[in-house]
Structure 1
């Protein structure tokens, strides 16, 4: 590989802000029947079984074979008072903690995320345009498991999204691939940061270029305003080295 790209985040937040949350307490409806229609907001789950939000766990003796799926659903009114919470970071998120093992999450019939590891704490952005304020909103989670255990480890809540959910960074190179020699070749290195919040956020981006001996041969720092949606930054560079490693440092001094 002639080009290696690392993406690093430094997120410095105000620690004085108190975050409110909406716990999704009470019963959730669940079934072991795998029906893709279960993701729809108007799906009738009234015949499903019920389980409390702090006990969304199923052991081997409960899980039927050959099914390796559990669907869970809950309908909840999201009060417009949470708009103040949304303004703190620019977005709300659904927090589920770790899930055993994989999941696909839906909000009002739209897919909002998926995870494929039981080690990852789930946090999925709720887009403002999809929230029905002061009305019923429906969450549906399709959980796949290994046949011995299925669970949602934390009590589900809605709260302000954290920066690691709000900002998504992607790096590409125009004019070269990871297998190309880049010495004396004109290449444009593109850094795309998607801001999933409603707020414009001030940030700094540092792009460090290293040769095969880990010697820094170029560094570019930019102070930028990240508007909602995609923000694209390009760095044209002709490398004196055949091997090039690039590290992007993304720092948000304050996003609240």
Structure 2
């Protein structure tokens, strides 16, 4: 208890002055730095372009934000941007971000030679936290952005482009925060200081007393956090590191007013007080049985990552969890794998707000509760490459499924697992569903690219190696044509297309193939074109289709709660 008393005394001494930092109004100086205008630009790819020190001879100027095609660079591929900036010293006490607007298609962003973020997909907003330890205040800093354009337009095309503090970012995005009272602030601040002190001194049992048994931060549960805690604590204690804070704010969660959110920069310092690392921290606290405990964000719609053995790299995927996930922690759920279209990414579903559609259908009893997994498939068509260097099929059907079943409370059976997708995702859903029929019970496709002429992808030698026969062999229609009727036993199949969609004939061809083999399926042609409005207006039908398929399973129908594997 002595450590609690000491820390409480410290908070009482600094609490009032620290609490003043809660105020958002009356900023004396600008907390944004405009980065629009001239940047340095170079076509081609070389990892050294990310470095702080670089001979920039041969680089040309380009306007940002703007598509590079509008400035005379008509190509698809990889190019780099660089920008030299100064960040004033008064930003030392601020949590700051690099806001890059939108980029077509994929990016990797470096600050003074260190990777600070990456995003795939041209519709996503880019906001990257800049660690304080990377910044050279009142001196030269370098932002380097690697942009990969998969087709059509490319570049940093939509602004604004700027350095911005967290408080200014809230204003820019019209995010209103109900700030905590002084008493609430001090309670959270004290709890964070106590927990960090326990962590840096190896007192893990006491640390866990401040963690809710129902703690969950995205995919990380109390059990997983407890498992990793020793390694983290050992690293801090062995190096004699201490923890400090910058720009500590506490506010009420917009989703749940009883939850207090601590938002700050954590500074990791060595024994001499030198800054070694810094990271962004957003922690969630709530009173449970009279004690203020860290509960995690308990998000039901978030991005996760894992290492794929087949692709030999870290991959990301979005996750939707049903409403009861944190209420009944013994319950397990069927799983739907949802594949994005060409040029999209796992984040595309976030911007389509599909979680609200699923929640509403569950609420009115139209569908059963389910987990939805949305992997990033690049522009791969979810197919293995000709040279077998990129095994996207096994990445989905082996690595990802195994990781999901081990990490989330799924019902790990074929009869409670479905797959679906939009456009290129429909290609993937049909081809993977047919080839790996032992993994899925239901297969759906929304305006699916079920047969794509070789001429349309002739330049995609990274997939087909220039071999038109290989490209034909991986088409969903080809796969379906080559399988015997028995292969489709118990599979549930549902797909549709618009009457003005350029892929209508391919979908009709799939329908005729299945019909000729006597394979039960549902196929529909609706009024519409090949666009987001079309598939989104029918998305609920896909969810109902998979739900009905899952409901036939004894595991869902009798609401059986499986024991942990």
- What's the TM-score once normalised by structure 1's chain length? 0.60
**Closer, same or farther in 2 for the Cα pair 1:149/1:207, shift >3 Å?**
closer
Return the alpha-carbon distance in structure 2 between the equivalents of residues 225 and 143 of structure 1: 34
Is it true that 1:32 corresponds to 2:32 in the alignment? no
- Could you say which residue in structure 2 is the equivalent of 1:129? 133
CA apart distance, 1:132: 0.7
**Closer, same or farther in 2 for the Cα pair 1:145/1:202, shift >3 Å?**
same
CA apart distance, 1:146: 1.9
- Could you say which residue in structure 1 is the equivalent of 2:165? 160
Query: Which runs of structure 2 are paired with 1:1-256 in the superposition (5 Å)?
Result: 16=25, 20-55=31-66, 57-58=68-69, 62-64=73-75, 68-81=77-90, 83=91, 87=93, 90-152=94-156, 153-161=158-166, 162=169, 170-174=218-222, 198-204=246-252, 223=260, 225=262, 228-229=265-266, 231=283, 233=294, 239=328, 242-243=331-332
Which deviations, in whole Å up to 9, do the C-alpha atoms of 1:71-99 show, x marking residues without a partner? Answer: 01111222224x2xx64xx3111111111
Higher relative strand content: 1
Equivalent residues of 2:250, 2:262 under 8 A apart: yes
Which deviations, in whole Å up to 9, do the C-alpha atoms of 1:171-191 show, x marking residues without a partner? Answer: 433559xxxxxxxxxxxxxxx
**Closer, same or farther in 2 for the Cα pair 1:155/1:47, shift >3 Å?**
farther
CA apart distance, 1:200: 2.6
- Could you say which residue in structure 1 is the equivalent of 2:191? none
Report 1 or 2 for greater relative contact order, CA contacts < 8 Å, sequence distance ≥ 6: 1
CA apart distance, 1:199: 2.6
Return the alpha-carbon distance in structure 2 between the equivalents of residues 228 and 78 of structure 1: 17
Return structure 1 stretches of 4+ with deviation > 6 angstroms: 205-208
Return the alpha-carbon distance in structure 2 between the equivalents of residues 33 and 175 of structure 1: 45
Which deviations, in whole Å up to 9, do the C-alpha atoms of 1:20-75 show, x marking residues without a partner? Answer: 321124421111111111000112223111113344532596234xx611101111
RMSD: 4.0
Unaligned runs of 5+ in 2: 1-21, 174-216, 225-244, 267-280, 285-293, 297-325, 334-368, 370-565
Return the alpha-carbon distance in structure 1 between the equivalents of residues 71 and 36 of structure 2: 25
Higher relative helix content: 2
Unaligned runs of 5+ in 1: 1-12, 177-196, 209-220, 246-256
Return the alpha-carbon distance in structure 1 between the equivalents of residues 71 and 35 of structure 2: 26
Equivalent residues of 2:104, 2:155 under 8 A apart: yes
Return the alpha-carbon distance in structure 1 between the equivalents of residues 56 and 332 of structure 2: 57
**3-state SS in 1 of match to 2:136:** coil
Return the alpha-carbon distance in structure 2 between the equivalents of residues 146 and 72 of structure 1: 17
**Closer, same or farther in 2 for the Cα pair 1:228/1:138, shift >3 Å?**
closer
Aligned residues: 192
